[in-house]
Chain A
Amino acid sequence: MLYRISCTEMDALFAALSETKTVYLPADREDGQASFVKWTEGTALSNRLNTVRSAKDFFFPQIQPLARFRREGQKIEITDLREESEDFVIFGARACDVRSFEILDRVFLADPVDTSYQTRREHAAIVTMACARPEETCFCTAFDIDPAKPADGDVRAYIADGYCYLEPLTEKGETLLAGAGECLEESDGAAVEAEAGRIRAILEKLPLASLKPADNREKELDVFNSPKWEEMASHCLGCGACTFVCPTCQCFDINDFDSGHGIERYRCWDSCMYHDFTLMASGTPRLTQKERFRQRFMHKLVYYPIRYDGVFSCVGCGRCLRKCPINMNIVKVMKELTGVRPAGAGEEA
């Protein structure tokens, strides 16, 4: 079944969905970027290709309180700070971000299950928006993601001809749209097929359209020992920008914070790019930025595929291409490892 609603009526749709669930959607910011925000009356859906931070934040937030410890005399009082999630809707995540949930699931939902992650996943309904205007930094097709006809999520959506088209992909998606009530009308698939065709034609022309990750599962040590890491990592600043905007980066740290009135234990994102990543009593196993840099890309392109049946831990969203202060990124690494270096501007200007 396919439904549609005029783009001018989107507020009515969000209002109807909000009656039972909190709705989050990407909205434009003053600085020309977009972020996921909670819908309130009048919040418009952004046309930007992607949000600065990825949608992983909904399931794996940057900071998450775990427990509070208070001591009184000989007694220690321990409070569990984890909360059960409420139903919510992520409206308008892109196909790349939605695929990243699967990549995170394999880690967080495997035994032992991460219950905080699990409760958020179970309570979320996801509406995946096709990408009307892919950009030069996009390479999701390298990972068999189809932004012209998203396959993941509970509902697939398109914006075309002044309408938002919605197609449920799961039972949860059908229930969600049934809850939208009167504001949706049924539609045939002609406009959606035309839009998917239009997007596919753009995808073929993307500068990174021919990028394909190499299956290096059999060559783990060759890649690990490649002399190219030294040069690739040589100007990495060791910040965590790539890691924190990445939809598939999943490492975290657990810290205790002394509030002066007790201890709060929380977990927060960590970055393998940091010099104190996995610091332990004996020191760090990765002494220089070369080893830290290598860890990030080995994890995404070699270790994860070895562990999970050839699946890469990258969805080609392009955020690291946009946000690295020195413009080093996974695409350059993939090309370098396969011997293709970006051409210089050699003879220009």
Chain B
Amino acid sequence: MQRELINRARELLADGTVDRVLGWQAGQFAYDITPAVFTDAGELEAHFVYNEFCADNLSKYLIKESEKEGKVLAFLKPCDTYSFNQLVTEHRIRREHVYVIGVESYGKADVEKLRARGISGITGVETVSGMLKVHTMYGDESVPLNEVMLDRCLTCKSKKHVVYDELIGEDGDVVADSGRFDMVEKLERMTAKERFSFWQGELSRCIRCNACRNVCPACTCENCVFDNPGSGLQNRAARDNFEEKLFHIIRAYHVAGRCTDCGECSRVCPEHIPLHLLNRKFIKDFNELYGPFQAGEVSGQMSPMCAYTETADPEASVVRKGGAE
């Protein structure tokens, strides 16, 4: 796969279709991949990588990249294409400045899950027919990839690329039975007290590093209210328990209807807080209140939050009450 990607990128650079390539760059230990822009064949050959740890959603980088002159080639996994469409819809990406190649992805591995299993001193990783062969300083370990995938991949909503100029590899389908709302349903069944205690436990670990916000393709404000001294909400750190929740809940509200459920927030959280559950709750509510809706599925589509109709819109606060008694 990696070879095909490099070859195609070289061709498109050579024939002038694009003048740079947005992809993934190899790190020091097989898993520490960094997004990068490549401008020539030499760089691609030396540093470009596509493997089971290339999890970064490159769509957000295209906001800046597509502002530039020329055309950039971007490799997008199925989930990344939803973010791409959404950002095009929001006029944040200049579509005509991007050449999209959809790349197949059967799920990315989570190095934190390898570590949680006690696998440490990782020096290299190979994938052989669904198994991760992990080389470590303390011996080799074999782990089925599907046991150490990122949570978001375990509940993958779609293996279909919703936008591309060309595809490398197979296009998949929307996954009907992803089970991605199972945990949300479990939370809904809790009493208010249980649910409060669940979120208290999770969010109390927050260190307000803003990694979730800064990686989020839906968070594209030039100056976030939480950074803006003029907003009255500026804060560098949660001063008390309430503020910890305030930040994450406000963020979830702000991206509601725009969040494609790409799962980057939870992937990058240093404290392993399942932030995506807040967003999934909104997505599930949207589906139930306004009919099935997937942000980013179609370029230019209106979010239910922006498509108010006086007759058809239910008033969420009066139609139902959440949670177990």
Give the B-binding residues of A (Cβ under 8 A).
31-33, 35, 49, 52-53, 62-63, 133-137, 202, 205-208, 234-235, 237-241, 243-245, 253, 255, 257, 264, 266, 268-271, 274-276, 279, 321, 323, 325-329, 331-332, 341-349
Instruction: Report B-chain residues with C-beta under 8 Å of the C-beta of A328.
Output: 34
Also in contact, A349 and B1, with CB within 8 A (given A207-B123, A239-B215, A328-B34): yes
Smallest CB-CB A-B distances: 10 pairs: A32-B116, A325-B268, A268-B237, A327-B32, A344-B47, A237-B214, A239-B211, A239-B214, A241-B209, A345-B49
> Which of B185-234 touch A at CB < 8 Å?
205, 207-211, 213-215, 223, 227, 229, 234
CA distance A17 to B210 in the complex (A): 38
20 new A-B contacts, CB < 8 A, other than A33-B116, A62-B237, A345-B30, are: A31-B272, A32-B112, A33-B271, A63-B238, A133-B120, A134-B121, A135-B122, A135-B137, A136-B122, A202-B137, A235-B36, A239-B210, A240-B209, A241-B211, A245-B270, A268-B237, A271-B209, A321-B32, A328-B34, A341-B47
| CA–CA, A321 and B29, complex, Å | 10
A271: B residues at CB distance < 8 A: 209
Please state if B49 and A32 are interface contacts (CB–CB under 8 Å): no
Interface status of B88 (Cβ within 8 A of chain A): no
Check A343–B26 contact: CB distance below 8 A.
Answer: yes
User: In the docked arrangement, what's the CA distance between A52 and B223, Å?
Assistant: 29
Q: State whether B120 touches A135 (Cβ < 8 A).
A: yes
Chain A residues near B211 (CB-CB < 8 A): 237, 239-241, 325
Closest residue of B by beta carbon distance from A275: B227
Which single member of A237, A321, A332 contacts B215 (CB below 8 Å)?
A: A237
Q: Interface on chain B toward A: helix, strand, loop, or mixed SS?
A: loop
Question: Are B35 and A326 closer than 8 Å at their CB atoms?
Answer: yes
A62 CA to B211 CA, complexed, in Å:
16
Task: Kindly state whether residue B261 has any CB partner on chain A within 8 Å.
Answer: no
What is the minimal beta-carbon distance from B308 to any residue of chain A, in angstroms?
33
Contact call B209/A349, Cβ cutoff below 8 A: no
Which one of B30, B35, B211 has the highest number of Cβ atoms from chain A below 10 Å of its Cβ? B211
Instruction: Write out the residue numbers on chain A whose beta carbons fall within 8 Å of the beta carbon of B237.
Output: 62-63, 268-269
CB distance from A258 to the nearest CB of B (A): 8
- A53 & B207 in contact (Cβ 8 Å cutoff): yes
Given the known A-B contacts A49-B120, A257-B239, are A244 and B46 also in contact in the complex, defined by CB atoms under 8 Å?
no
A244 B209 Cβ-Cβ under 8 A: yes
Across-interface contacts of A205 in B (CB, < 8 A): 137
Among B169-189, those with CB < 8 Å from A are none
B45 x A346 contact (CB < 8 A)? yes
Interface string of B35-74 (1 = CB under 8 A from A): 1110000000111111100001000010000000000000
Q: Whose C-beta in chain A lies nearest to the C-beta of B273?
A: A31
| 7 pairs of residues in contact across A and B, judged by CB atoms under 8 Å | A235-B34, A239-B215, A240-B209, A269-B237, A326-B56, A346-B45, A347-B3
Which A residues touch B49, using CB under 8 A?
344-345
Tell me the B1-42 residues at the A interface (CB within 8 Å): 1-3, 25-30, 32-37
Which residues on A sit within 8 Å (CB–CB) of B207?
53, 62, 244-245
Contacts of B35 in A (CB 8 A): 235, 326
Chain A residues whose CB sits within 8 angstroms of the CB of B112 once the complex forms: 32-33
Contact between chains at A136 and B29 (CB < 8 Å): yes
- Provided the pairs A49-B120, A238-B214, A257-B239 are in contact, do residues A243 and B272 lie with their beta carbons within 8 angstroms? no
Rounded to whole angstroms, the CA-CA distance of A32 and B119 in the bound complex is 11
Interface residues of B, count at CB 8 A: 61
Are B115 and A239 in contact, CB atoms less than 8 angstroms apart? no
**A275–B28 alpha-carbon span in the complex (Å):** 28
Cβ of B287 within 8 Å of any chain A Cβ, yes or no, is no
**Judging by beta carbons under 8 Å apart, are B209 and A268 in contact?**
no
Complex interface: chain A residues within 8 A of B238 (CB): 63
B184 CB, min distance to chain A CBs, angstroms = 19
Q: How far is the CA of A133 from the CA of B118 in the complex (A)?
A: 11
Provide the residues of chain A in CB contact with B121, threshold 8 Å.
133-136
> B234 — nearest CB in chain A belongs to which residue?
A255
> From residue A213, how far is it (CB to closest CB) to chain B in Å?
16
Instruction: Please report the C-alpha to C-alpha distance between residue A207 and residue B29 in the assembled complex, in whole angstroms.
Output: 9
CA distance A191 to B61 in the complex (A): 53
Give, as a whole number of angstroms, the nearest-CB distance from A253 to chain B: 5
Shortest CB distance A343–B (Å): 7
> Chain B contacts of A346 at CB under 8 A?
26, 45-48
Give A219 to B66 CA distance when docked, in angstroms: 37
The CA-CA distance from A274 to B49 in the complex, in Å, is: 29
Chain B residues positioned under 8 Å from A345 (CB to CB): 2, 26, 30, 49, 51
B320 proximal to A (CB < 8 A): no
Compute how far the CA of A63 lies from the CA of B116 in the bound complex, rounded to whole angstroms.
29
CB of B113, distance to nearest CB on chain A (Å): 8
**A141 → chain B, closest Cβ, in Å?**
14
A134 to B122, CA, bound (A): 11
- Determine whether the beta carbon of A344 is less than 8 Å from that of B48: yes
CB distance from A279 to the nearest CB of B (A): 8
In the bound complex, CA of A192 to CA of B72 (Å):
58
Whether the pair A32, B215 counts as a contact (CB closer than 8 A) is no
- How many Å lie between the Cα of A337 and that of B117 in the bound state? 35
**Residues A327 and B34 in contact in the complex (CB < 8 Å), given A202-B137, A341-B47:** yes
Q: Is the CB of A266 within 8 A of B215?
A: no
Closest B residue to A255 by beta carbon equals B236
CB A124 to nearest CB in B, in angstroms, measures 21
A142 to chain B, nearest CB (A): 14
| Interchain CA distance A185-B28 in the complex, whole Å | 45
Q: Nearest-CB distance from B197 to chain A (Å)? A: 14
